[in-house]
Structure 1
Amino acid sequence: MPKLVHLSLSGRSGDYRWEGGHYIPEYALECRNLPKYNLVQRIIKPKFATIVSISVDQFFISSDQLVCLLKVPALRLTSLNLYQSNLVNDAVINAIVTHQTKIVHLFINTFYLYSLEPFNLLCRHLEKLETFHFKGSLSNSWGLESLLYFKELRTLKIKGYLDNYENRFPKPTILQRLLDKPRDILLTHLDIEFDLYGFSEPTINIVKMCVRFIASRFLKLTVLRLSSCPLDENLFREITTNLVNLVVLRVEDCNLSDNALTGLKHMETDASTPPLHHLKRLTDLDLSCNEVTDASLESAFTSCSLKKLSLRYCEITDCGLVNLAAQPESFKRSIEELDLSHCLKVTDLGLSKLLPELKRLRVLNLEGCREVTSKTLETVKTYCPKLRYLGVSFHI
């Protein structure tokens, strides 16, 4: 059986790299000063004849060299990492879709692609792609329609930098056409991060429509992370009602309206079912948004058996911790990791009410909690015998 090899063109190398379910040898090669023909000669040497994975940094290789490398006949890549570079252009895309169509894991920076066509080209030719991470300006990378070309895609990560070309955003008609398509979407892991600060209301509304499309069609999702996305009460409910297979839900630094999370309490009491009621498999919840208040936690978790809960940077006080302590036993018995870092209004008093209720707590993060002192250590020693990690800002 031929030896599988990972080639690092990033100046960082190790002895082995995890790839395809097992460790493979890793080799480092700096190509910056190598002519193109020398690069090819180095690559097709016997020890590099079975390269299946490459990571690239723009400081160690040029776009021309990368194109030359991708055309090497002996190369049969299953993984390509161009995520940390600005090497990607039309020539690189053409080389990938012409010579490396067996790629299963692709990490790519599309910042310098000024139209959707190269992105569409990737989507049409890499039918076996299972993992796709990309970043770039939102107008040229938010190719929702193109994503339907992927038949095997399981993991998608988008990091979008917004520009002012708002007319390039997916139009409502495109989104409706996507919603009407019967094709099943097999995606299980989705991670979206972009910043909407300072952009117009129409732009924000269209991004909300994109998230609504996700909530309506990506029904097999088990992991969803939304960072710096706009959410309101109705959209949050669509996510938690439709995506019933979620095991991990992370809503970090999102532009939540006042009603979106305080609505957790409101919907718990006034609606037919609470917003988290349908998420029977949910074990990891991150609500790290400064709009989260004490009222948000009053009855938010009556249906949950979480193992991990993160409330970083939330505007909760000791009253919020008392609300958590009043949750059902199923919630308190299941929590193993709790992150309250940078909750500036939390004090020793609130922790003394909450911690005795969390018998299985193993990880507690209180870093940045300025009102927490060494008094909490005594509470931890007394009531948290299983604790293995404690993050604090004061000196022990």
Structure 2
Amino acid sequence: MDLPYEVLVYIFKYLTKSDRKSASETCQSWYLAANDYCFQKHKVVTLYKVDLNDDVSPLQVYENSSMCYDNYLFSEVEISSKINNFWDRNGENIRSLTLQNCDIREKVFVHMLQKCTNLEVLNIQNCKELFMSGCLLEGKTDGLLSTTLNKLKCLSLSGNQYLTDALFSRFVNSAPDLEELNLSGCSLQFHLGLVKRFYPQGTNIFENPSESVLTFYFILQLLVTRANKIKRLLFSNTLIDGTALKSLSEIEHLKLQYLQVYSCDQLTNSGILSLTKLQTTLSELDIGLCTRVTDQSLVYICNNLINLESLNIQRCRAVTDLGIAELNKLSKLKVLNISQCELITKDGIEKGLCTEQNNILEELDVNSLNLDQTGLIMISERLPNLRLLDISYCFNAVTDSSIQVVFKNLVLLHTLKLSHCDKVSDAGLTGMGKIEEVNEHDGPIMSNYDDSIANNKIYLGSRAEEEIVRDAKRKHDVMKMCEKLTMDSYTGYSLARIKGLRELDISGCNRITDVSLTYAFSFKELDKLNLSRCQQITHEGIKHLVKNCPSIEHLNLIDCYNLKDEAVIEIVKGLHRLQQLELRGCNQLTDKTLEGVKSFCKKLKFLDVQGCRNISPELACTIGVLPTLHTVLISKPGPYINDGVKERSPKPTFLPALMRKLRLH
């Protein structure tokens, strides 16, 4: 019986984007339901490294499509007048337009804007040729463009070093209802001497904006005129300092909801004080990599920004437990990044986040913190509703015992990252390790399968050789236990408990072997998996991984040098959604790998085979014939030496256009 259209749409709302896409390929009714406007309005058409000027342009697909797409992203492409027909036909349907590192002429850009009459989001990133002349939109803002951008809500001009006050003014004057402004990575000037030079006293800055520099003074004056509408500002990677942030915060009627000043080294506590006192409506604040931020700033934030839901203080190295302890005042906090803050310990986290059970926090990044096992266990017990947890590089905290407590308590996780936590082994991931009570002053915990201390024999090999022997024995013992027990009878808690896992990063955990891939990996929704530098995995483990995790789209196997062609064949045959495959440094792979990719990968977009010395670079070049593939990373073809003379094999016959897909390293 066919389900009604409305019922199908309702069901598809519970599926991930990838699942909906696969479901849409089932039949016509499912295709229509999966492309209902409630889903369609969030889809982004991405055109990356393609030739739009060919006789058969990818844009023709969207020109002739019966469905209207609202959002377009052009990245590293040339946009010329040859595709003007696309803007003429589809421009009025476009709500969001992003240009990244694109080659585009001023005349073509103006024509594009004139046709996109309903734009709400415009993002022009690193398009230096467009701004270089300084004449962009000159004389257009009072004419044809005066009504074109009147619906624009978000304007991003990030990374454009040639942006000036005059150019900025032309964009903003055409967009009276702006709510978000992004000038991250621009050459923003704060020196008052420049202001006096380009704007002498009595000058009307709006009538004669500078065509030489982009000044914070001009932006500040413009924000004063738009204060009642601006809600979101981004000034990351600029020289904004405490004085500038204080001036920004004091703008009358300005009520910010989001501020990003990531990696702004000049920012000081005085600026944060003014911000928190005057912009109390902030719900999201990003001050990561601001090295001058201290505990004092955190005290201001926690006392004044009571509505804060997201806070990033990554690598604010002067922040200590005194500041983190204040976080308990932010009762609405959902997202927190305190990674790489070397002075934060378990005590600060306990006072700030874990004094009692916290059911509000959903995302926590504590990578590279100086935590121990008890700290990680405390986090897992007191923050039961975490959806994202990053504990990478927490060497002392992540062990076989503590990670099983995480698996026990945080079953709602969809993202888990424990990169380079090299104390974790198969025993921890499978649940075969022994969980013991972990006290703060306990020494190293021994798993129930490790009897190396009980063995009184003197080992005559090196320490490295002894560790290899121990790892082999661990793998053998855990494998035997896994074969005897079912999931329900495990002595501990397995990674497989986290049924909804979508992203997993265990890169650099070199004690992970095929045992974990066989008995701990069973995730129907897992789409991103990083196994790089897990050098003990082989074809046997990959076979089970592919069978039990069929939704993987991004797979990283860099430096897994025990993998052979058979493993890659299993991957490309079994993972039908695979879009990105990284095999760099897998030096046992041969040309059979590329043949398998060419035969079975129907959706692959990115392939990295650098350092695979047995793979022919010439054959790797020809793989560009795959229609979906846009990037192939290969090693440079080297000269071949015959009889003392360097020669090169004949160049492969393939279209020159395919070379744009290749990056030689």
TM-score, normalized by the shorter chain, greater than 0.5? yes
Partner Cα separation in structure 1 for residue 315 and residue 302 of structure 2: 16
User: Superposed, which structure 2 residues align to 1:106-255 within 5 Å?
Assistant: 106-109=285-288, 110-114=290-294, 116-137=295-316, 140-141=319-320, 143-162=323-342, 169-171=345-347, 175=350, 179-182=354-357, 184-194=358-368, 204-205=371-372, 208-230=373-395, 231-254=398-421
Which digits, 9 at most, give the CA deviation of each residue in 1:327-365, with x for residues without a partner? 584x14333332212323323243335543444434322
Report if aligned partners of 2:227, 2:251 keep a CA contact under 8 Å in 1. no
Percent identity (aligned): 22
Partner Cα separation in structure 2 for residue 190 and residue 178 of structure 1: 10
Amino acid at match of 1:171: D
Report if aligned partners of 2:380, 2:406 keep a CA contact under 8 Å in 1. yes
Q: Name 2:474's counterpart in structure 1.
A: none
Partner Cα separation in structure 1 for residue 509 and residue 255 of structure 2: 47
Report if aligned partners of 2:539, 2:566 keep a CA contact under 8 Å in 1. no
Report if aligned partners of 1:9, 1:55 keep a CA contact under 8 Å in 2. no
Report if aligned partners of 2:179, 2:231 keep a CA contact under 8 Å in 1. no
Q: Whose relative contact order is higher, 1 or 2, with alpha carbons under 8 Å and at least 6 apart?
A: 1
Gaps of 5+ in 2: 1-149, 173-177, 200-216, 434-480, 621-665
**Compared CA separation, residues 171 and 301, structure 1 to 2 (3 A):** closer
Correspondent of 1:264 among 408, 422, 429 = 429
What SS does structure 2 have at the residue aligned with 1:98?
helix
Amino acid at match of 1:121: Y
Correspondent of 1:291 among 498, 504, 510 = 510
Q: Name 1:30's counterpart in structure 2.
A: 188
What SS does structure 1 have at the residue aligned with 2:231?
strand
Could you tell me how far 1:289 is from its partner in structure 2?
Answer: 1.8
Report if aligned partners of 2:328, 2:351 keep a CA contact under 8 Å in 1. no
Q: TM-score, normalised by structure 1?
A: 0.78
Give the number of aligned pairs.
370
Report if aligned partners of 2:546, 2:571 keep a CA contact under 8 Å in 1. no
Gaps of 5+ in 1: 17-21, 196-202
Partner Cα separation in structure 1 for residue 263 and residue 381 of structure 2: 32
Could you tell me how far 1:4 is from its partner in structure 2?
Answer: 5.3
Which digits, 9 at most, give the CA deviation of each residue in 1:19-73, with x for residues without a partner? xxx9845567834234799838624542465322223357543322221221222
Partner Cα separation in structure 2 for residue 122 and residue 58 of structure 1: 21
Could you tell me how far 1:247 is from its partner in structure 2?
Answer: 1.3
**Compared CA separation, residues 8 and 118, structure 1 to 2 (3 A):** farther
**Compared CA separation, residues 273 and 280, structure 1 to 2 (3 A):** farther
Amino acid at match of 2:377: R
What SS does structure 1 have at the residue aligned with 2:252?
coil
Partner Cα separation in structure 1 for residue 273 and residue 328 of structure 2: 20
Q: Which has the larger radius of gyration?
A: 2
Q: Name 1:350's counterpart in structure 2.
A: 567
What SS does structure 2 have at the residue aligned with 1:160?
coil
What SS does structure 2 have at the residue aligned with 1:193?
coil
Amino acid at match of 2:402: L
Could you tell me how far 1:138 is from its partner in structure 2?
Answer: 5.2
Partner Cα separation in structure 2 for residue 48 and residue 134 of structure 1: 27
**Compared CA separation, residues 159 and 63, structure 1 to 2 (3 A):** same
Partner Cα separation in structure 2 for residue 310 and residue 242 of structure 1: 23
Q: Name 1:363's counterpart in structure 2.
A: 580
Which digits, 9 at most, give the CA deviation of each residue in 1:262-313, with x for residues without a partner? 4334357363464123212112222112424324535343543233322012
Amino acid at match of 1:175: E
Report if aligned partners of 1:70, 1:95 keep a CA contact under 8 Å in 2. yes
Partner Cα separation in structure 1 for residue 353 and residue 552 of structure 2: 39
Report if aligned partners of 2:569, 2:593 keep a CA contact under 8 Å in 1. yes
Could you tell me how far 1:386 is from its partner in structure 2?
Answer: 4.4
Could you tell me how far 1:156 is from its partner in structure 2?
Answer: 1.5
Q: TM-score, normalised by structure 2?
A: 0.49
User: Superposed, which structure 2 residues align to 1:305-324 within 5 Å?
Assistant: 305=524, 306-317=526-537, 320-324=538-542
**Compared CA separation, residues 328 and 311, structure 1 to 2 (3 A):** closer
Alignment root-mean-square deviation, CA: 3.7
**Compared CA separation, residues 10 and 123, structure 1 to 2 (3 A):** farther
